[in-house]
Amino acid sequence: MHPKKGMFTKGFVRLNWVALVLIYLVVIAGSFVRITGSGMGCPDWPKCFGSWVPPTSANQLPENYREIYGEKRVKKVEKFARFLSAIGMKETAEKIKNDPATYEELPFNAGKTWTEYVNRLFGFLAGNAVLAIFIWTVFRHRKKRKLLVLTALNLIILTVQAWFGSIVVATNLVPWTITVHMFLALVIIALQLVIIRQISPVQQRQLTLSKTMRWLILVVFLITAYQMFLGTQVREYIDELTKQGLGRDSWSDRLGMTFFIHRSFSWAVLAIMTFMLWLNWKTAGHKSVYWSYGILAVELISGVCLAYADMPGLVQVSHLLFASVLFAILFLQLIRTRKPPVFA
């Protein structure tokens, strides 16, 4: 049965949801890479130790492999530094070039190598899903110009994200590059949600919310997005303190204002969303508001565990995951308060 004019097939809608899930798997895998210190598990990109399937033992590599990939890293860093200088970031470029840690080549570790490889595999799958969506749009829905632009833009940004991933590796995980990497991931998630809003019959239904509720959702969304970047910076500080050999018991005294702002905003979000929960219960009763509050609760619990208990690294993964899911739900709520798209 063919869809009516202006409608989209179930296959196309499902493909877009699958792409969103794959994007989230990349986020989860990236977080797992971070907590296990596997970011440099593959010293090159897009291949891993010069192969599409990485080795399982150092015996499969040449004896001077660290020197080989060290030389390649130098070339990549110099190329990236020239790019930064060209866009007016000369001071940052010089700092990266002159930092000895940028050129440190770690010995082979099979566990870290395969952890990073799985992360790249999910990235490959997500990239192909986004590419398939664009191709499908070109052949079946190219007259819908807005949709065509959105799918093309998402593909371009995902390509930039993949390229920037190589920069993160080449510069040996320079902290600010990880933050940019996170920002691009959120942009990709947001664009994918906009596309789903355009094509899914369920998501095209407009949410009827009061003006107060819409403003509250916007405020919580902005704070949540800012919180994710603050959390990335807190994580960078913790990584640095760990390198210095400092234990968890001394972190709180050294994390500075960023950590305290991050923690304070969490309680502010909880207060606002508690009011939203009550307001929603008294009026519309939208399920998405209940879902967002439940996810926030889990997010705060994981944050407390990270701050005050010696919890395993998987708690860090869940903290990022639930933050990004909350970001997505709030964003989808915002765009669904607007009139649904109309296609000819």
Q: For 302, how many CA atoms within 13 A lie in the half-sphere containing its CB?
A: 19
Q: Write down the residue that tokens 């609760």 correspond to.
A: 297
Claim to verify: residue 49 and residue 111 sit in the same structural domain: yes
Q: Which domain holds residue 239?
A: 207-344
Low-confidence ranges of the chain (pLDDT < 70): 1-6, 103, 169-175, 236-257, 284-285, 306-314, 341-344
The residue from 204, 232, 267 where one domain ends is 204
**Tens of pLDDT along 119-174?**
889 989 999 999 999 999 999 988 888 999 999 999 999 998 888 777 776 666 56
Please state, in angstroms and as integers, the Cα–Cα distance from residue 39 to each residue in 110, 148, 169, 274, following that order.
Answer: 13, 34, 7, 38
| Same domain, yes or no: 183 and 231 | no
pLDDT (0 to 100) of residue 227: 83
Domain count, the chain: 2
| Contacts (Cβ under 8 Å, ≥6 apart) of 40 | 106, 112, 116, 169, 172, 173
Looking at residue 82, its pLDDT comes to: 83
Domain end call among 204, 227, 245: 204
Same-domain pairing of 25 and 62? yes
Same domain, 125 and 6: yes
Q: Could you tell me if 174 and 264 lie in one domain? A: no
The pTM of this model reads 0.81
Same domain, 153 and 302: no
Residues 186, 175: one domain? yes
Q: Are both 197 and 264 inside the same structural domain?
A: no
The answer to whether 252 and 237 are in contact (CB under 8 A) is no
Structural contact between residues 262 and 231, judged by C-beta atoms closer than 8 angstroms: yes
Taken in order 98, 101, 107, 112, the sign of the CA dihedral is: negative
pLDDT of residue 157: 94
Distances 321 to 33, 277, 324, 335 between C-alpha atoms, Å: 14, 22, 5, 21
Distances (CA, A) of 273 to 221, 282, 285, 300: 11, 14, 14, 12
Residue 197: per-residue pLDDT: 92
Pairwise CA distance, residues 211 & 192, whole Å? 26
What are the distances in angstroms from CA 228 to CA 37, 277, 319, 323? 20, 22, 10, 7
- Please, which residues bridge with residue 104 across strands? none
pLDDT at residue number 304: 73
Residue 45: its pLDDT value, please?
74
Angle at 73 between CA 168 and CA 100, to 5 degrees: 85
| Same domain flag for 250 and 135 | no
Answer yes or no: do 234 and 276 share one domain.
yes
Comparing CA positions, the residue from 5, 6, 4, 12 lying closest to residue 343 is 6
Same domain, 151 and 264: no
Question: Which tokens belong to 215?
Answer: 């403003």
- Do 174 and 235 lie in one domain? The reply is no
Total number of residues shown for the chain: 344
